Structure 1
Amino acid sequence: MKEIIAMHGWAGDSHQWSNWEKIFKSCDWEWQTSERGYKNISPHIPKWNNNSNQVELKRVAICHSLGSHLIDKEILHSATHVVLINSFSRFIPNSKEDRPTKLALNRMMNKINTPNEASMLRKFYIKAYKPNDIDIKSSESKLIHISDSGRLKLKNDLKLLMNSDSLPIGLKNSAKVLIVNSQQDYILSNQTKAQLAEDLKNHLETIPKIINLQDDGHFITKIKNIKKVKHWLEFEHAKNMV
């Protein structure tokens, strides 16, 4: 059995996985999405469908950015494979780069629940999708509108991001991990990516695999890149069948 639970990152939602879901479901994967509920979408924490004692069972947690810290800890702990997409253990670099990053995050925090909130989120989405274009005007209501209940989560989760300094709780050392890094990610620093890889090498029994993507940003949008993740998972599944 092959199943996936996906978790979006800060200010994201479960709709961002639509192309991923189509691709994996077409290849007989069971797919579910976690939902934080920042916007007018009900929060949702799924559960694995299949019994953990089944032979050849593959449980995959796919996490984007802060999603590795937001995903339910029981889901993460029981995952056999974990895909970390432009993710991190410590978001703010522990170096001379930390001051401008802290200042930028504090400015974002201060704009939540103010008249400048939508503008701040708009700039974030443009930067996160770069170098790919995003039609903000046609997507405005879906991307920018934050619900009253979601606004508190948005703020608390930004604090979680700012205070992150270690691997996500629940990640077991026997998990097989794929790190997916975008070379043109304008959200994460290279030092942040390197720190995640180092922390994982020290934690895991098996050295994590790293895929570097050349033509996507913080958000992975290209079908060919989604298929690269699928191919790795299919290869891992085939190994288990031998």
Structure 2
Amino acid sequence: MKEIIAMHGWAGDSNQWSSWEKIFKCCDWEWQAAERGYKAIIPQTPKWNHNSNQVELKRVAICHSLGSHLIDKKILHSATHLVLINSFSRFIPSGKEHRPVQMALNRMMNAINAPNESAMLRKFHIKAYKPNYIDVESIESNLLHISDAGRLRLKQDLIRLINSDSLPIGLNSYANVLIVNSEQDYILANQTKEKLAEDLINHLKVAPKIINLQDEGHFITKIKNIKKIKHWLEFDHAKNMV
């Protein structure tokens, strides 16, 4: 049995996994997506479909960015495999990049529920998808549908991101972990990526594997790269991929 639960990051939603779902379901993977419900989508917290005692059961949690801190801790703890896409343990770096990152996050926090909220979110999404194409009109349409409850979650989760300083609670130390880093990520600092790898090496029984993607931004959009991640899950646990 092979199943996946995917968790989006801050200001994202479950629709971002549409290409992923098609690719995995074509190869007999069972797919579910968690949803925070920032926009006009009902919040969802999926559960694994299969009992953990089944032979050769593969439970995969795929988390984007803050998603590893947002996903249900029971899911994270019982996952046999974990894919961390442009994720982090501590978001704000402790070195020279600390101050500008902190200031940018403070500006984003102040924009929530303010007249410049939509402009802030639009700028964030364009930066997160860069260097890849993004349909700005569809983003702006979605931004008009943020509910009061969704806006509260958006603010609470940004606080969680700002305060993050360690690996997400519940991470199974026996899990097989794949770190996916985009070399053109304009959201995460390099020190933040290095800190995640260091923390995982200290936490896990088996060192994490790493994929470095040269042609992606904070969001992974290219089919070839989604298939590369699927290939690791199915075949390549014994070696790193570059």
- Partners of 2:86 and 2:39 in 1: how far apart? 22
- Partners of 1:78 and 1:32 in 2: how far apart? 15
1:136 paired with 2:136, answer yes
- Partners of 2:52 and 2:207 in 1: how far apart? 24
Q: CA deviation at 1:138?
A: 3.6
Q: CA deviation at 1:135?
A: 1.8
1:172 paired with 2:172, answer yes
- Which residue of structure 1 lines up, in the alignment, with residue 71 of structure 2? 71
Where 2:123 maps in the other structure, the secondary structure is helix
- Partners of 1:118 and 1:144 in 2: how far apart? 8
Q: Is the 8 A contact 1:92 1:192 kept in 2?
A: yes
- Which residue of structure 2 lines up, in the alignment, with residue 184 of structure 1? 184
- Which residue of structure 1 lines up, in the alignment, with residue 231 of structure 2? 231
Q: CA deviation at 1:41?
A: 0.3
- Which residue of structure 2 lines up, in the alignment, with residue 196 of structure 1? 196
- Partners of 2:145 and 2:125 in 1: how far apart? 13
- Which residue of structure 2 lines up, in the alignment, with residue 108 of structure 1? 108
- Which residue of structure 1 lines up, in the alignment, with residue 95 of structure 2? 95
Q: Is the 8 A contact 1:58 1:237 kept in 2?
A: no
Q: CA deviation at 1:141?
A: 1.4
- Partners of 1:202 and 1:63 in 2: how far apart? 20
- Aligned residue runs from structure 1 range 31-46, under 5 A: 31-46=31-46
Structure 2 CA distance for partners of 1:237 and 1:205, relative to 1, 3 Å = closer
Q: Is the 8 A contact 2:82 2:178 kept in 1?
A: yes
Q: Is the 8 A contact 1:121 1:144 kept in 2?
A: no
Which structure 1 segments of 5+ residues have no match?
Answer: none
- Which residue of structure 2 lines up, in the alignment, with residue 151 of structure 1? 151
1:49-75 deviations in Å (ceiling 9; x for gaps):
001000000000000000000000000
- Partners of 2:22 and 2:237 in 1: how far apart? 19
- Which residue of structure 2 lines up, in the alignment, with residue 84 of structure 1? 84
Query: What is the number of equivalent residue pairs in this alignment?
Result: 238
- Partners of 1:199 and 1:75 in 2: how far apart? 20
Which structure 2 segments of 5+ residues have no match?
Answer: none
Q: CA deviation at 1:237?
A: 8.1
Q: CA deviation at 1:139?
A: 3.5
- Name the aligned partner's letter for residue 85 of structure 2: I
- Partners of 1:56 and 1:72 in 2: how far apart? 23
- Partners of 1:237 and 1:176 in 2: how far apart? 8
- Partners of 1:98 and 1:161 in 2: how far apart? 14
- Which residue of structure 1 lines up, in the alignment, with residue 209 of structure 2? 209
Where 1:51 maps in the other structure, the secondary structure is coil
- Name the aligned partner's letter for residue 80 of structure 1: T
Where 1:17 maps in the other structure, the secondary structure is helix
- Partners of 2:117 and 2:17 in 1: how far apart? 24
- Partners of 1:74 and 1:18 in 2: how far apart? 24
Where 1:181 maps in the other structure, the secondary structure is strand
TM-score, with length taken from structure 2: 0.96
- Partners of 2:191 and 2:162 in 1: how far apart? 15
- Partners of 2:48 and 2:224 in 1: how far apart? 27
- Partners of 2:183 and 2:100 in 1: how far apart? 21
